[in-house]
Amino acid sequence: MSSPPKVLILGIGNLLWADEGFGVRCVEALAAGWRFPPNVTLLDGGTQGIYLVDQVREADVLVVFDAVDYGLAPGTLKRVEGDAVPKFMGAKKMSLHQTGFQEVLALAELLGGYPAHLLLIGVQPLALEDFGGSLRPEIRGRIGPAIAIAFEYLRDFGITPSPLDRVAAQGVNLPHPALGITAYELGRPAPEQACRVGDARVLSRIPAAAGAD
């Protein structure tokens, strides 16, 4: 009898750059609300880039959640599979982690550990240049539909997650509450108290400084 496939569900992105945190928030929602069989690993990949290569190499099935600029309407979800995934991971560079994950896939293939099955669930972001910001409501509302796409895909591998009630969740190794989206939104200063889009006093000096060279 063959062993079940090793499945890695990975969320990548930067929580501090508004909608760039979409992938991580998807994995957070999965960890808080669902129980998976032992052959499934949930991983907050953050912006680790190349340091994710060992986890990727060990996976037979890889599901990635991310914010990707496809040039579509904000909030649009796009499902990409197989060999097309690396191309879409770099549809338009938004941060260092995207190029890093393309390199992760290339290195995994070079080392002979490329996943046999690969799915990217990407959302078109609305806002990125909000440093310390959170997901915009339009993007946060796509977490549930993105998870539904992942569940549909995983059913082909015999994986059907079970809902996790609040009592059962107490015995699960969840991320620290301080990392949750609710704590993050309550703890950050308002835009009026802390500039999150660049200080105009500094930015206004850049053209003058460039012209002086």
Q: What is the pLDDT confidence band of residue 183, given thresholds at 50, 70 and 90?
A: confident
Q: Compute the C-alpha angle 51/16/84, nearest 5°.
A: 50
Cα radius of gyration rounded to whole Å, the chain? 19
Q: At residue 203, does pLDDT exceed 60?
A: no
Residue 75 near residue 123, CB atoms below 8 Å: yes
Name 199's Cβ contacts closer than 8 Å, sequence gap at least 6. Answer: none
For 138-152, the pLDDT digits (tens) are 999 999 999 999 999
CA gap 26, 20 in Å, rounded:
12
DSSP structure class, residue 15: T
For 43-56, the pLDDT digits (tens) are 998 888 788 899 99
DSSP structure class, residue 50: G
- Domains annotated on the chain, with CATH: 7-188 (3.40.50.1450)
pTM value? 0.82
- DSSP-assigned beta bridge partners for residue 131: 17
CA gap 177, 156 in Å, rounded:
33
Residue with more model confidence, 155 or 70: 155
Q: What is the pLDDT confidence band of residue 113, given thresholds at 50, 70 and 90?
A: confident
Long-range contacts of 188-193 (CB under 8 A, 24+ apart): 188/132, 188/133, 188/134, 189/132
Residue 125 near residue 19, CB atoms below 8 Å: yes
Q: At residue 60, does pLDDT exceed 90?
A: yes
CA gap 190, 31 in Å, rounded:
28
Q: For residue 13, which of 120, 106, 173, 87 has the smallest C-alpha distance?
A: 120
